[in-house]
A and B are shown apart, each in its own frame.
Chain A
Amino acid sequence: MFLVGSFFLFAAFLITTCIFVIFSKNPVNSVLFLVLAFLNSTFLFILIGAEFVGIILAIVYIGAVAILFLFVVMMLDIQITTLMFNIKRYIPLALLFAGIILAEIIYLTVFKTSKDNLDTFIRSKNNTEQIGDVLYTEYFIDFQLSGIVLLLAMIGAIVLTHVYRPTIKRQNIESQNSTTAQDRVKLVKIKSGEGIKDD
């Protein structure tokens, strides 16, 4: 009873925050609602007993991805009217993705597994250990491949955005650190009446 009640509570919160992500006028508020949505999905994962997945979702998406979103969105100077105009352009694409995800959910829930199976599988053992058991053995190739895909995406992003500007001044940390007092200051003994010879 308690579990079912909290499921509907968090699910309702999740859907509400998702709606606010789309319809709030200020993009910063959208990102903050997105954070709330991630948080609620974390709670949902914890409710089905998958606490490892839930907390990793929180660390990765709330602790890193959403912060970077916020970081970028805060620095944009967006006119709200143009934003609302632009939103209509993306509706077909959004509907396409929504359709794909809906089809996946229907496929998984109706045709693929029965729910009891999943439940006993999850509760049979500490789920951190379970993931550890299969991740590097059964799913080794998939794991490495997804790592390579992420690495490629990262390198791609760096290559696309990094522009080397030869005109700006840079710090040379090694030369700064290896500098000693003798390189900068010279003690000169001056004979009185002669002054320093410029050499």
Chain B
Amino acid sequence: MTSLSFELTIGILKIFSFVVPVLVSVALLVYLERKVLGAVQLRKGPNVVGPFGILQSFADVLKLLTKENLLPSSSNKFLFIFAPMLTLILSLIAWAVIPISSTYVIANINIGILYLFAVSSFGVYGVIIAGWASNSKYPFLGALRSAAQMISYEVSIGFVIITVLICVGSLNLIDIVESQKSMWFAIPLLPMFVIFIISALAETNRLPFDLPEDEATLVAGFFTEYSSISFGLFFLAEYANMILMSSLTVILFLGGWYPPIDIFPLNAIPGIFWFVIKVFLILFVFLWVRATFPRYRYDQLMRLGWKIFLPFTLIWVVITSAFLFYFGLLPN
């Protein structure tokens, strides 16, 4: 009995060791985003609360917590409150299988990548339930747009993942990273790497694909009716999802916890350091894209997903498998 409770305690501590850093990095990511946008637009960004304004996001969270949580009178109350909770839960449970070093992972399961794909495809429920339960025009339109958008880009994400899996021969995330020890997949699979990052932008509803919350046409999209902490949960989930998709990119294409070159001073540094620094590089790309590109029109978005990415990734799967087959490079 004691060993069971001991294991349970260790498990809970392990979960906290993932969730707490993720939530803190969300706050720092919001700060980083505002600083990057400020730098791109020749402004200073937040610089009042704390040194260099680093405590700004924590102040914002406290402000959100003290506000009143409004429930629209015609909404479906249970689903209205449930939607932001679901979104945040889904963005956090995915961390159960993310390996941040060759040994440190909560659950090392055989089908880790499929689990991640499943959880990220459930993400659309939070948005669509929120839009429907609000019982209001703009949230509903935002939810419909988002459902169509996320399903469309999942297809190309699926094919990109298949290409990587063909090269690895395993669905286990640790195996995927370990097969990149000599060369990161971002080099031989460069087009798929680019497509994956663009699809990740669409999947997390980030600019230039943030049509579900397009403020010029839809007020704030699916969370128009949300206020206070329920809005805060959506906000938290969006940024947690960004970090998650960045970690997935790092695991699939940028060699996870491995240093760029396997030589002495670089491989002496702990793997977690490389993992975090790569995740932050990808996150910086997310913010950089936001500051640089204008928002897509909805038909352009759909055309990009179905008429360009889908055929391209499909053909690339065939090319990659044919290449590996004819040169005898298929794993096992």
Once the chains bind, are A70 and B114 in contact (CB under 8 Å)? no
Which residues of A are found within 8 Å of B143, using beta-carbon distances?
A: 74
Whether A59 touches B117, Cβ cut-off 8 Å, given contacts A28-B132, A171-B299, is yes
Closest to A55 in B: B114
Q: Which residues of B contact A56 (CB under 8 A)?
A: 114
Which residue of the partner chain A has the closest CB to B131?
A: A74
Q: Is the CB–CB distance between A74 and B128 below 8 Å?
A: yes
- List the 5 closest pairs (A to B, CB-CB), nearest first: A63-B121, A55-B114, A58-B118, A59-B118, A74-B132
Q: Is the CB of B128 within 8 A of A59?
A: no
* Closest residue on chain B to residue A56 by CB atoms: B114
Is A67's CB within 8 Å of the partner chain B? yes
Q: Taking chain B's interface residues, is the majority helix, strand, or loop, or is none over half, making it mixed?
A: helix
- Shortest CB–CB separation between residue B218 and chain A, in angstroms? 16
Given A59-B121, A74-B128, A173-B303: A67 in contact with B151 (beta carbons within 8 A): yes
Q: Are the CB atoms of A64 and B117 closer together than 8 Å? A: no
Flag whether A71 is at the interface (Cβ < 8 A). yes
In the complex, A97 Cα to B132 Cα: how many Å? 32
A24 at the interface (CB under 8 A from B): no
Asked if A71 and B154 make an inter-chain contact with CB atoms under 8 angstroms apart, the answer reads no
Contacts of B295-313 to chain A: CB distance below 8 A: 299-300, 303
Residues of the B chain whose Cβ atoms lie less than 8 Å from the Cβ of A128 = 110-111, 171
Q: Check if A35 sits within 8 Å of B125, measured CB to CB.
A: yes
Interface residues on B, range: 20 to 34
- Complex interface: chain B residues within 8 A of A35 (CB): 125
Q: Knowing A67-B124, A67-B125, say if A62 contacts B118 (CB, 8 Å).
A: yes
Task: Say whether B111 contacts A64, CB under 8 Å.
Answer: no
Tell whether B55 is near chain A: CB-to-CB under 8 Å. Answer: no
Cβ 8 A contact of A64, one of B115, B151, B300: B151
- A residues within 8 A CB of B154? 63-64
Asked if A11 CB lies within 8 Å of chain B CBs, one says: no
Q: Are A55 and B111 in contact, CB atoms less than 8 angstroms apart?
A: yes
As a 0/1 sequence over residues 47 to 82 of chain A, the CB contacts with chain B under 8 angstroms (1 = contact) are 000011001101100111001101100110000000
Q: Are B118 and A55 in contact (CB under 8 A)?
A: yes
Given contacts A67-B125, A71-B144, contact A59 B132 (CB under 8 A): no
Q: Give the docked Cα–Cα distance between A35 and B86 (Å).
A: 13
CB of B147 closer than 8 Å to a CB of A? yes
